[in-house]
Amino acid sequence: MRAEGLTIEPKQSVISPGALDDLIGALRERGYRVLGPTVRDGAIVYDELGGATELPIGWTDSQDGGHYRLERRGDDARFGFAVGPQSWKRFLFPPRLRLWRARLGGADAPAVEEEPVDEQPLAFIGVRACELHAIEIQDQVFLGGRYTDRDYAARREDVFLVAVDCFEPGGTCFCTSMGTGPKVGSGSDLTLTELFDGEHRFLVRAGSDRGAEVLAGLSGRPAGPTDVEEAEQSVATAADRMGRTMEAFDLRDLLERNLEHPRWDDVAKRCLTCGNCTMVCPTCFCSAVEDETDLSGEEAERWRVWDTCFSVDYSHIHGGSIRPSGRSRYRQWMTHKLGTWHDQFGSSGCVGCGRCITWCPVGIDITEEVAAIRATDGAGADATVA
Amino acid sequence: MPRSLEDLLADVPLFEGLDDEARTLVAGCARNVHFGAGDRIFKEGGEADVFYVVRHGSVAVEAFVPARGPVTIETIEAGEVLGWSWLFAPYRWHFDARALTVVRATVFDGVCLREKCESDPALGYTLMGRFAQVLIDRLQSTRVRLLDVYGNDGRH
Amino acid sequence: MATTAVTEQHEPGAMVPAPFRVAEREQDTVDTWTLTLEPLEGPGPSIGPGQFMMVYAFGVGEVPISVSGPPGRPGPVVLTVRSVGAVTAAICASEPGRTLGLRGPFGTAWPIEAAGGDDVLIIAGGIGLAPLRPVVLHVLDQRAGYGSAAVLYGARTPGDLLYTDLHADWRRTVDVEVTVDTAGPDWPGRVGVVTKLLPGARFRPEQTTAFVCGPEIMMRFAARALLDRGLAPERILLSMERHMDCGIGLCGHCQLGPTLICRDGPVYPYSTLAPWLEVREL
């Protein structure tokens, strides 16, 4: 079950950094495939964790528009960084997924065999508040409509979520503007807050019965007032250190009335339509269907692959593409993410994680684009449409 | 009893709302004609000193394209105006016109009307405005078809 | 506007095509064929007028095709398909006995029942008559439930006209007016844009519902002509088209402004569409 509310008293404990190893072990024993942050290729990525030593101990990230570097910290913090280029969507909504195989057999109708769903439950270690919100947003996309995504539903069903409060927001973070962090709310099985005063330790609170059960099996001590107070202070400080801000009020209407704003021409001169932003964004969900066949033509497969609205082909219908210009494609992405997502799914599509800013090769900053449009709200509206 | 030309003109959209005096003036330049199915009504290059209002039947405006034959540009139906070349020098037909069916029409003497417009500028202005609308409609209709929206290779 | 009901119960994603056998294949024009497909499993879906199916040609690919058969009862699925690319070419080439995969029906339907008692205008351009044929069939079937009814149909040339063998039948109870963009001397009918057929149609603007389908630009001009004739924008229905990969609201491709065409369309009232149609490359 997804993390449900508690039926027992919420209890906060304090565990040592070493106990994280026990946590990972306990989850593996229960059959989970444990995924979490680790350093690879100069970035902090999400991958399978064999143990807690694989966490990015003592690493932090320096992020800005089009800039990402790992740097050494002066301590052994386990989660002393913001977010890396990947999000948890790569496990819940894999970049390439076979949907079914079919074999053409003579005069008979082709036999279609649906791909079995991956049965092994997943555990995510180190889920940020913004990422929890992103998962909930994708829940709405894939599970909230009339037709649900079979594969997402299966993967999502049993995911064990170990969240962490942020104390080291990044240069491009703006979760406070989007109301998605830095403090973890509800929706996780366990939440960790990393504390340093006097003793390097973790305050742990359970967010579900099964979280409480796992917590009960770890050695630790009950949390005291100083632990709780330090945790609150840590999160409050983090909330003040956001790298960016975005005035998110009324964004849906703002963007709807500014579809011809000259700022779109401006950003079009910079945007390479590379689609990096859509790859790193934790809520982007567009996919394409690829129908393939082998050389004999006897066997066919259907695959679902990640797609990006920045490609010209994305909007192709017979005769051409609806959005041939880069201008229209950037506009589509941003107005969808911040505006029409509300109409389609009942919330913003943006959680303020800043990845799109960091990983844009030319450093386009969505918070800056919004500010520019707000500053001259209504500009370009008089332009006569031919 | 057959209706007078003035009465008939009252039903023609081109002359809708004209006051009685104007309508009488215009009717003075008009008479009724009819064509059999297949009859040529005018030929490209011929002298264009009349125009028609089709009252019954259908007329094909055509262009003859070498190696392709006659191509129908537009069909003119009941209530519509056929011919505007009478308005502008050199007063020559730009296309052919052929009756597709039996056609009953009112033909207007363009020379007569031009003279009346010159001596009565107010009438001239009104008629010019009416014909401008006809030209606009034809132009729009042509422009939209130029887009070839149903074409297999065109953009949507 | 009444559209396909969205059920509270979530249906698991339907990404697996169901097999249908081609029972009949008829060529309509130089590049268009009408296929009648029989389900191999079960009685076949009940399809609302204007809904579409995702049609799969084994090993080639899948495209959305509007259904053009009689609406509302389970049975064979009739598809009129224009060959414009690899997938549609493969579909059009499917001889009787071959199997195609279908998913659906998806999308919103023409609100033909809500238009009961109204005068009805069915305005089609090119292949647009195919998604409108279910509306024609419904009106023919329930003729007394509507006032005046007219089909106004335009195509590129006489050779591109669809269902010409049926027009005489239709003419018995509804007006059918046809025009082409250009023609040779053998064509006895009208030549001109389809909107030129409006002045000759009889209808009460305040009591008329118009169903319009064709290339987007043709629908834009037709809607404007209807507005000029006094129809309220809510009474003008259009069927929109965008790239579709899934047909079930999960792939994101078919977005049109704040909606997904596979889920909130393809049928929309012009009152909803007007602001989006004005924005280029939306």
Asked if the domains C18-105 and C119-277 are classified in one and the same CATH topology, the answer is no
- Residue A322's beta-bridge partner residues? none
Give the integer Cα–Cα distance in Å for C94 and A53: 60
Chain segment C264-274, per-residue pLDDT in tens: 999 999 999 99
In angstroms, the Cα distances linking B104 to B59, B97, C188 are 10, 14, 17
Q: Which residues of B touch A319 (CB under 8 A)?
A: 153-156
Chain segment C107-150, per-residue pLDDT in tens: 999 999 999 999 999 999 999 999 999 999 999 999 999 999 99
In angstroms, the Cα distances linking C86 to A118, A291, B22, C10 are 33, 12, 63, 34
Candidates C21, C60, C282; nearest CB to A291: C60
> What is residue C3's predicted lDDT score, i.e. its pLDDT?
32
Bridging pattern class, strands C52-57 and C61-66 = antiparallel
Give the integer Cα–Cα distance in Å for B97 and B70: 11
Mutate to test the interface with C, among A344, A345, A348, A385 (most CBs of C within 10 A): A344
Per-domain boundaries in chain C: 18-105, 119-277
Is the bond preceding residue C185 a cis peptide, omega within 30 degrees?
Answer: no
- Residue of chain B nearest C187, judged by CA positions: B72
- Residue of chain C nearest A261, judged by CA positions: C279
**C209 pLDDT above the threshold of 70:** yes
The answer to whether A317 contacts chain B (CB < 8 Å) is yes
Mean model confidence pLDDT for chain C: 93
Residue-by-residue pLDDT tens, chain A, 386 positions: 445 555 545 679 999 999 999 999 999 999 999 999 999 999 999 999 999 999 999 999 999 999 999 999 999 999 999 999 999 999 999 999 999 999 987 666 788 899 998 889 999 999 999 999 999 999 999 999 999 999 999 999 989 999 999 999 999 999 999 999 999 999 999 999 999 999 999 999 999 999 999 999 999 999 999 999 999 999 999 999 999 999 999 999 999 999 999 999 999 999 999 999 999 999 999 999 999 998 888 899 999 999 999 999 999 998 789 999 999 999 999 999 999 999 999 999 999 999 999 999 999 999 999 999 999 999 987 654 43
The answer to whether A319 contacts chain B (CB < 8 Å) is yes
Residues with Cβ < 8 Å from C195, sequence gap 6 or more?
B144, C221, C222, C225
Q: Which residues of B touch C196 (CB under 8 A)?
A: 141
SS3 A254: helix
Asked, for residue B156, whether it belongs to a domain, the answer is no
In angstroms, the Cα distances linking C155 to A308, C65, C124 are 36, 19, 8
In angstroms, the Cα distances linking C146 to C2, C73, C77, C226 are 18, 21, 26, 19
Q: Which residue reads 């009717």 in tokens?
A: B27
| Domain total in chain B | 1
Residue-by-residue pLDDT tens, chain B, 156 positions: 567 888 878 888 888 888 888 888 888 899 999 999 999 999 988 899 999 999 999 999 998 877 777 889 999 999 999 998 888 888 889 899 999 999 999 999 999 998 988 999 998 898 889 999 989 999 999 998 988 888 765 333
SS3 A325: coil
> What is residue C2's predicted lDDT score, i.e. its pLDDT?
32
- Portion 91-120 of C in contact with A at CB < 8 A: 97, 99, 101
> What is residue B70's predicted lDDT score, i.e. its pLDDT?
86
Q: What angle (nearest 5°) sits at the alpha carbon of residue B42, between those of residues B38 and B48?
A: 165
The answer to whether B154 contacts chain A (CB < 8 Å) is yes
Q: Which residues of B touch A318 (CB under 8 A)?
A: 156
Burial string for A43-52 (b: 16+ CB within 10 Å, else e) reads bbbbeebeeb
Asked, for residue B12, whether it belongs to a domain, the answer is yes
Domain enclosing residue B101, as ranges: 5-146
Cβ-defined contact of A147 to C12 (cutoff 8 Å) = yes
Q: How far is C19 from chain A (nearest CA, A)?
A: 6
Are the CB atoms for A203 and A223 separated by under 8 Å? Answer: yes
In angstroms, the Cα distances linking C251 to A95, A285, A318, C157, C266 are 13, 7, 19, 37, 16
Give the integer Cα–Cα distance in Å for A191 and A206: 6
The structural architecture, per CATH, of the domain C119-277 is: 3-Layer(aba) Sandwich (3.40)
Q: Which residues of B touch A317 (CB under 8 A)?
A: 156
Asked, for residue B153, whether it belongs to a domain, the answer is no
- Residue of chain A nearest C10, judged by CA positions: A146
The answer to whether A386 contacts chain B (CB < 8 Å) is no
> What is residue C7's predicted lDDT score, i.e. its pLDDT?
36
Cβ-defined contact of A110 to C101 (cutoff 8 Å) = yes
Q: How far is B74 from chain C (nearest CA, A)?
A: 5
List the CATH number of the domain containing B101.
2.60.120.10
What does pTM read for this prediction? 0.89
Burial string for C65-103 (b: 16+ CB within 10 Å, else e) reads bbbbbbbbeebbbbbbbbbbeebbebbbebeeebbbbbb
The answer to whether A222 contacts chain B (CB < 8 Å) is no
Q: What angle (nearest 5°) sits at the alpha carbon of residue A319, between those of residues B147 and B137?
A: 15
Element (H, E) at A72: strand A67-72
Chain segment C220-247, per-residue pLDDT in tens: 989 999 999 999 999 999 999 999 999 9
Name which residue leads in pLDDT, B5 or C95: C95
Asked, for residue B14, whether it belongs to a domain, the answer is yes
Q: Which residues of B touch A321 (CB under 8 A)?
A: none
> Which subunits count as partners of chain B given 3+ CB pairs below 8 Å?
A, C
- Which fold, C18-105? Elongation Factor Tu (Ef-tu); domain 3 (2.40.30)
**Neighbouring C-beta atoms of residue A169, cutoff 10 Å:** 28
Q: Which residues of C touch B79 (CB under 8 A)?
A: 199
The answer to whether A107 contacts chain B (CB < 8 Å) is no
**Neighbouring C-beta atoms of residue A257, cutoff 10 Å:** 14
Asked, for residue B93, whether it belongs to a domain, the answer is yes
Cβ-defined contact of C280 to A109 (cutoff 8 Å) = no
Residue B76: both structure tokens together: 């003119």
Q: Which residues of A touch C249 (CB under 8 A)?
A: 145-147
Cβ-defined contact of C243 to A322 (cutoff 8 Å) = yes
